[in-house]
Structure 1
Amino acid sequence: MAEQVEMPRMKLGTQGLEVSKLGYGCMGLSGNYNIPVPEEEGIAVIKEAFSKGVTFFDTSDIYGTNHANEYLVGKALKQLPREKIQLATKVCLKRLDVDYIDLYYVHRIDTTVPIEETMGELKKLVDEGKIKYIGLSEASPDTIRRAHTVHPITAIQMEYSLWTRDIEEEIIPLCRELGIGIVPYSPVGRGFFAGKAIVESLPRNSLLESHPRFTGQNFEQNKAIYFRIEVLAKRHECSPAQLAIAWVLHQGDDVVPIPGTTKIKNLHDNIGSVKLKLTRDDLKEISNAVPISEVAGSRTFEALSRVSWRFANTPPPKMNPKKCGMCLSCTLIC
């Protein structure tokens, strides 16, 4: 195993979880945006990320066919020191073959169940030592606040990038009020700011072939955004992907993006973004190069839009009638 190099570390939230400044999203190793890589190649990418200082790895039961990504990550962890890894997932200890999960996310919010009930069950898992910290993904402000009253939330996972910034108005200020870390997924715009479909063709059977921002007139309009970032990247002597990730990293010390890739070359490129220093004026110039009003198309597929944070409110908690003791027939809820 290659010698691990130093990468800045930071506290994610205020509950004690410490992670590498840059994480790694494992989903792509098992498909969706590209053809799944052979298992040994996927394990090699994860091990290489660790050797470069990445210790925060994100997976889920729905990544890949038949839970392939959790099985893959579990096998990779067998070849790494588990105590130095911060593992985030959304479902299963058994498939990962680990004794505990560092950060357990509620992947999407079940809007038929009060969030207090969900959090109550997760709190039991914390008490049993099966999970260490609790996170939410694509949760609304009301859901976040209510969940946090049952058990502290350590991190909120949301899509956040140069061309997806809708969490800036409500979600980010709320997280900072409550001491919750922010984990942006798709910080490279699902590969867009790496040139995917522009200077690099889409892989066969990629879901991006039907993504609203990568198709038809929307894509033709969005190309101009990429070329603006490409010009700025040359000025900063970095790649467009590095500039996109560095912009996200500079949004605060409580922000830990989790870019994913299937290629070790691109992994090294992503990790290099940590070294890129941007001034306040740089950040403003980069933001202005991607006016949100000019981004064409929804940030995600229609089916996923319906389970995004804007629609993730849950019913109020169920109240159980209790007798107040004043009389036998009283049904006052005390």
Structure 2
Amino acid sequence: MKTRTLGSTGLSVSAIGLGCMGMSFAYGGADEAESIRTLHRAVELGVTMFDTAEVYGPYANEELLARALRGLRGKVSIATKFGFRIGAQGQGMQRVTGVDSRPAQLRAAVEGSLARLGVETIDLLYQHRVDPALPIEDVVGVMADLVREGKVLHLGLSEASATTLRRACAVHPIAALQSEYSLWSRDVEDEVLPACRALGVGFVPYSPLGRGFLTGQLGSTATLATDDYRRGLPRFQDEALRANAPLVARLEQLAAARGVSAAQLALGWLLAQGEQIVPIPGVRRLVHLEQNVAATQLVLSAAELAAIAAAVPRGAVRGARYGEQEMGMVGL
């Protein structure tokens, strides 16, 4: 497995990581035994970057990683996140009642994550969403205190704007910015990615396969579990799926000509966008994990990269990636 370095802080990780959210949250029930087998196989394949958050479950995903990765502390880096206000009632996202990065809440979230993960230090701590009620300088100041206290090694932001990132970096080095980025979600190319390059910040794309759409295996919401989070997203309404189907069909044609899957081609394109980019595709099954890891060996020519981008051009995707409320939390 090739490695890449996130930011100027020297966090070296595998070129592709593993997004663990779907093992406990958002995409319907998962088989824990299979999830643990997948996590163990990821380590065998050289994956060292595992991404979770307190809100995934909530809490259950961090506990799952603790059980699966116990004894592997020196071989893996675990990234987790704080910043959502989590209520006591409901299931999944129903328990999220807003954002909250106040110092006391931040510290309580970190102590909770440390306990659930069973570690003394968090490798990479992200603010999950920017809290518009607080200056980012104040939030990063508290995060920096946690670094000095030895509870956190590296700092990150998620779905922050280029302006917010610059302000954060003026307080403490930021190792990584995590935001959605894939062939069907490319807004970060305008300002965020250039800012990351200029500031020496790594970029971690989540949903690099368009929440499964770019695999070519999702043609209708009928195949999704009744509690699958995607059922409520604009891009996964049947009308939008039908409108976007020709895009993934073109991607599949290019992939077939190269002898790879559409998912591998999409990941190969993403990895080619910069050495500071470390995608974290989410998987629950071994076969998908192994296909994703194999994509790190795919070398694409300039002509192939251009053809892939042309197959799924910017602005061609029908539907917003989130609903109105969640879209209001990104790009701040």
Could you tell me which residue of structure 2 aligns to residue 177 of structure 1?
A: 198
Could you give the per-residue CA deviations for residues 158-177 of structure 1, whole angstroms, max 9, x where no partner exists?
10000100000100000110
Distance of 2:237 and 2:231 partners within structure 1: 7
Q: Quick check: 1:184–1:256 contact (8 Å CA) kept in 2?
A: yes
Task: Report what 2:63 is aligned to.
Answer: 71
| 1:48 alignment counterpart | 41
Secondary structure, in 3 states, of the residue corresponding to 1:150?
Answer: coil
Supply the distance in 2 between the matched residues of 1:42 and 1:246 (Cα, whole angstroms). Answer: 24
- Structure 2 residue runs without a partner (length 5+): 83-112
State the Cα distance separating 1:9 from its structure 2 match.
Answer: 0.9
SS at match of 2:175: strand
Distance 2:147 2:204 in 1: 21
Query: What is the alpha-carbon distance in structure 2 between the residues aligned to residue 274 and residue 197 of structure 1?
Result: 23
Q: Is the 8 A contact 1:58 1:87 kept in 2?
A: yes
Following TM superposition, by how much is the alpha carbon of 1:275 offset from its aligned partner in structure 2, in angstroms? 1.0
Shift of 1:33: 1.8
SS at structure 2 position matched to 1:292: coil
Tell me the SS of whatever aligns to 1:11: strand
Matched, 1:89 2:80: yes
Q: 1:158 aligns with which of 162, 179, 182?
A: 179
**Displacement of 1:292:** 2.1
Offset, 1:11: 1.0
Identity of aligned residues (%): 44
Q: Deviations over 1:77-130 (max 9, x none)?
A: 21x420121110014111111111111001101000011110110111000111
Aligned counterpart for 1:143 among listed residues 164, 178, 183:
164
User: Counterparts of 2:35 and 2:210 in 1: how far apart (Å)?
Assistant: 22
Give the aligned residue type for 2:202: G
- Structure 1 outlier segments of 4+, above 6 Å: none
For the residues of structure 2 that align with 1:68 and 1:162, how far apart are their CA atoms?
30
Q: Any idea what SS the aligned residue of 2:188 has?
A: coil
Larger deviation: 29-38 or 197-206? Answer: 197-206
Q: Which residue of 230, 236, 239 corresponds with 1:214?
A: 236
Query: Could you tell me how far apart the structure 2 residues matched to 1:203 and 1:249 are?
Result: 30
Query: Which of 104, 121, 124 is the equivalent residue of 2:125?
Result: 104
Total equivalences in the alignment = 301
SS of match in other structure, 2:198: helix
Which residue is 1:122 aligned to?
A: 143
Contact 1:88/1:103, CA 8 A, preserved across alignment: yes
1:296 to 2:318 alignment: yes
Matched to 1:22, the amino acid is I
Deviations 1:129-151 (CA, angstroms, capped at 9, x unpaired): 11000000011111111110000
Q: Aligned equivalents of 1:303 and 1:292: distance in 2?
A: 23
Contact 2:175 2:201 in 1 (8 A): yes
User: Match for residue 37 of structure 1?
Assistant: 31
Matched, 1:8 2:6: no
Aligned to 2:273, the other structure's residue is in SS state: coil
C-alpha distance in 1 between matches for 2:263 and 2:224: 16
Give the SS at the match of 2:170: helix
One of 274, 284, 308 as aligned partner of 1:252? 274
Q: Distance in 2 between matches of 1:72 and 1:181?
A: 26
Hey, what does 2:107 align to over in structure 1? none
Superimposed CA distance per residue, residues 221-257 of structure 1 (whole angstroms, 9 cap, x where no aligned partner) = 1011111111001011001111111111110100000
Contact preservation (8 Å) 1:30, 1:37: no
Partner of 1:131: 152
| Cα distance in 2 between the residues matched to 1:301 and 1:43 | 32
d(CA) in 2 for partners of 1:270 and 1:204? Answer: 26
Indicate yes or no: 2:254 matched with 1:262: no
TM (norm. structure 2) is 0.88
Instruction: Give the secondary structure class of the aligned counterpart of 1:191.
Output: helix
Tell me the distance in 2 between the aligned counterparts of 1:283 and 1:104: 33
Q: 1:88 & 1:104 partners in 2: Cα distance?
A: 6
1:26 to 17, 20, 25: 20
Question: Counterparts of 2:147 and 2:25 in 1: how far apart (Å)?
Answer: 31
Post-superposition offset of 1:295: 0.7
Contact 2:8 2:201 in 1 (8 A): yes
Contact persistence 1:71–1:96 (CA under 8 A): yes
Tell me the amino acid that sits aligned with residue 290 of structure 1: V
Q: Which has the larger radius of gyration?
A: 1
